Amino acid sequence: MKILVTGGAGFIGSNLVDALAARGTDEIIVADDFSSGTRENLAHHASNPCVRVVELDIRDKPRVSEIMRGVNRVYHLAVQCIRLSLRDPYVVHDVNATGTLHLLTAALDENVERFVYCSSSEVYGTARHAPMNEEHPLVPTTPYGASKLAGEAYARSFFITYGLPVTIVRPFNTYGAREHFEGPYGEVIPKFVVRALNNAPLVIFGDGTQTRDFTEVSDTVRGILAAAEADELVGDVVNIARGQEVNINDLAHVVLEALPQSTSKIEHQAPRPGDVQRHFADISKARRVLGFEPRVEIHQGVRHYVDWLMRSEFDPREMLAKEKLRNWE
């Protein structure tokens, strides 16, 4: 099988590439523009003849068509992030919505056998009821969430109109090895860990009662791969998550428990614009259709991330300098 992974140098994408490469049976094209993903995330595949890395901006329609030739399966993870969408919604729309349309058109031309669109729990917005199943209202609170929902709408339309076999996956708050800590791409767990390693305050935006369904990246990747194999999910959508609600105050204490030597304190600042207040996934559909069961709970997952970071070559002081506290600006 010839597989295309867009955004394959990024956090989730590179972990997905690892899992695909470990099977040893497929040709894998990893496409990324390296705006947030890094070549270092793929360096261990340099000697693998089955993995080919190409630089691609998915806004470039002719180039997308060229790279799609002969592809059997697409995992579409290329994306621009939430915080960037607050200051530059146009570029986020162009990548997340128009770029997705380019990929769908090229996939249709090549008769791709399965197109897996990696969406986001951000399409739901704040929970109207919990846990949130796939029928929950879709009311995104940021331009990022809106752009991901636009991508979903395009994907569904290509299934309904043209019969392109599309599956939509909605991951919830994935964390783990290679997750971003810096600038507008940084997420809460790596930011907390970096700050704790430097004995700097763990900054919580708002009162900290907002919740997320934190899902370790190995579970997210297993869910994506399982969804790609499920004929029952063609033309449909599925949540992939831990299925556990954790508030940000409790998360800060989990990080400090994993780094008992840290003298960091918890500090609250004004809420960030567009933040959802509650995310808590109903994963009964993934359990029923995929036999999916998350394996890593939050305490274990945070320890895994800390262990990975300590084994890496990152300098915690340099990491803190790149972290940029007000990460929506």
Q: Which residues pair with 216 in a beta bridge?
A: 175
Do 208 and 247 touch, CB atoms closer than 8 A? yes
Verify that 44 and 123 share a domain, yes or no.
yes
Asked if residue 288 belongs to a domain, the reply is: no
Give the pLDDT confidence score for residue 329 in this predicted structure: 36
The pTM for the full model equals: 0.95
Task: Say how far apart CA 37 and CA 80 lie, in whole Å.
Answer: 11
Verify that 59 and 186 share a domain, yes or no.
no
Verify that 82 and 221 share a domain, yes or no.
yes
Asked if residue 209 belongs to a domain, the reply is: yes
Mean pLDDT of 173-184: 85
CA 80 to chain centre: 10
Both tokens of residue 86?
Answer: 């607050």
Q: Choose, from 144, 175, 185, 305, the residue flagged as catalytic.
A: 144
Q: Which residues pair with 239 in a beta bridge?
A: 170
Q: Write out pLDDT tens, residues 217-270.
A: 999 999 999 999 999 999 999 999 999 999 999 999 999 999 999 999 999 999
Share of the chain above pLDDT 90, in %: 88
Task: Say how far apart CA 173 and CA 171 lie, in whole Å.
Answer: 7
Asked if residue 328 belongs to a domain, the reply is: no
pLDDT for residue 183 is more than 80: no
Q: Write out pLDDT tens, residues 310-327.
A: 898 778 788 787 776 554
Task: Say how far apart CA 289 and CA 286 lie, in whole Å.
Answer: 5
Task: Say how far apart CA 90 and CA 202 lie, in whole Å.
Answer: 32
Please, what is the average pLDDT of the chain? 94
Asked if residue 140 belongs to a domain, the reply is: yes
Q: Write out pLDDT tens, residues 265-319.
A: 999 999 988 889 999 999 999 999 999 999 999 999 999 999 999 898 778 788 7
Verify that 222 and 254 share a domain, yes or no.
no
**Is 305 one of the annotated active-site residues of the chain?**
no
Verify that 230 and 255 share a domain, yes or no.
no
User: In the chain, what is the straight-line distance between the N-terminal and C-terminal CA atoms, in Å?
Assistant: 42
Mean pLDDT of 120-127: 97
CATH of residue 76: 3.40.50.720
CA 156 to chain centre: 20
Verify that 273 and 151 share a domain, yes or no.
no
| Residue 301: domain span | 175-213+244-281+296-323
Give the pLDDT confidence score for residue 185 in this predicted structure: 60
CB atoms within 10 A of CB 121: 27
